[in-house]
Amino acid sequence: MLDLLLHRAQVATKLFSISKWLGMCNRAQLAHKYFTMNRLNKHDRVFVLTGAGVSAESGLPTFRGMNGLWRGYRVEDVATPEAFSADPVLVWQFYSERRQRHQTVVPNPAHYALAELERKLGDGFFLCTQNVDSLHEQAGSRRVLHMHGRIMQSRCSSPACTAAPFDDGNSYRTREEIPRCVACGALIRPHICWFGEVPFEMDLVLHQLGEATLVLVVGSSGVVEPAASFVRIARRGGARTVYVGPEVPANHGYFDEVLEGKAGEMLPSFVKLLLG
């Protein structure tokens, strides 16, 4: 733990330009300073954004982990409304495979650490995920905003239909198997925000970003919008911003601190630091 604190303190030294006084401290003092800097107080509000990377250690590959390809198709060409209109069977085959895979995975220490943070902070904690899996919920997180939808839900494909999304873990591999909406008769589609569509509940997300004093982003490449801009918005509002992941994200310029490493290895210690 002391080594982790020391490593983080060294990162902080660069970031906060406090090298002079830190230079005068010994290892334990250095660790203590960093510990104090990170410990949350009762006024803090934590906004967490997770991306595909938080689930990578559970065995769900990121898009880049799949080389962005599925059966030779670019994921961006399968996960769109246009692809569904042109070939709903192909799109359902893609999601059916993923549904089966998602049923076999379990949360990793990163999911559990975030569930613990929520338990301790209550209303001072907000979790927004780009992921469509249910690993946060399986780890005990109670309030998770899935801005890109949920793989285990489906809904009517007609934008005019008001029928609500529903739980659905089924696989559909032929045209005949794809169900139709009981309200309007249109084809049922996965409850996923596809490329070119607007993510869910953005008003709530923007409100929570405005309230946040700490924004923690985990395992998100910083390429996919609008999530990639959250850190910039939060930074403008005065929040401290921290990234956790094995690679520096594309939007790294907006982070006060980048903690390089796997989420499952880094987050449990970092959450301990935050909770003091």
Closer Cβ to ligand NAD, 52 or 128, answer by number: 52
Asked whether position 224 contacts ligand NAD by CB under 6 A, the answer is yes
Asked whether position 57 contacts ligand NAD by CB under 6 A, the answer is yes
**The one segment of 10-18, 164-172, 206-214, 246-254 that binds ligand NAD by CB under 6 A:** 246-254
**Minimal distance, residue 129 CB to ligand NAD, in Å:** 8
Asked whether position 107 contacts ligand NAD by CB under 6 A, the answer is no
**Minimal distance, residue 8 CB to ligand NAD, in Å:** 17
Closer Cβ to ligand NAD, 44 or 247, answer by number: 247
What is the Cβ-side half-sphere exposure of residue 201, based on CA atoms within 13 angstroms? 15
Q: What is the CB neighbour count within 10 angstroms for residue 180?
A: 12
Q: Which position has the token pair 């008001």?
A: 162
Asked whether position 219 contacts ligand NAD by CB under 6 A, the answer is yes
Closer Cβ to ligand NAD, 202 or 223, answer by number: 223
Q: What is the CB neighbour count within 10 angstroms for residue 191?
A: 23
Asked whether position 262 contacts ligand NAD by CB under 6 A, the answer is yes
Which of 132, 135, 131, 145 has its CA nearest to residue 113?
135
Asked whether position 199 contacts ligand NAD by CB under 6 A, the answer is no
Asked whether position 169 contacts ligand NAD by CB under 6 A, the answer is no
Exactly one of 62, 158, 171, 269 binds ligand NAD (CB under 6 A); that residue is: 62
Asked whether position 150 contacts ligand NAD by CB under 6 A, the answer is no
Active-site annotation, residues: 148
**The one segment of 28-36, 62-70, 89-97, 154-162 that binds ligand NAD by CB under 6 A:** 62-70
Residue 210: φ, ψ to 5°: -65, -25
Question: By three-state DSSP, how is residue 246 classified?
Answer: coil
5, 273 Cβ separation under 8 angstroms:
yes
User: What CA–CA distance (Å, rounded) separates 180 from 165?
Assistant: 13
Q: In the beta sheet, which residues pair with residue 155?
A: 189
Ramachandran bin of 15, using left for φ above 0, alpha for ψ from -120 to 50, beta for the remaining angles = alpha
**Minimal distance, residue 63 CB to ligand NAD, in Å:** 4
Q: How far from chain centre, in Å, is Cα 65?
A: 16
Asked whether position 109 contacts ligand NAD by CB under 6 A, the answer is no
Question: Which tokens in the block code for residue 32?
Answer: 């203590």
H-assigned helices in the chain: 2-16, 19-23, 27-38, 75-78, 81-86, 88-102, 109-121, 135-139, 202-211, 227-236, 263-275
129, 136 Cβ separation under 8 angstroms:
yes
Asked whether position 134 contacts ligand NAD by CB under 6 A, the answer is no
Asked whether position 148 contacts ligand NAD by CB under 6 A, the answer is yes
Closer Cβ to ligand NAD, 13 or 221, answer by number: 221
Asked whether position 56 contacts ligand NAD by CB under 6 A, the answer is yes
The footprint of ligand NAD (CB under 6 A) covers: 51-57, 60, 62-64, 130-133, 148, 219-221, 223-224, 245-247, 249, 262-263
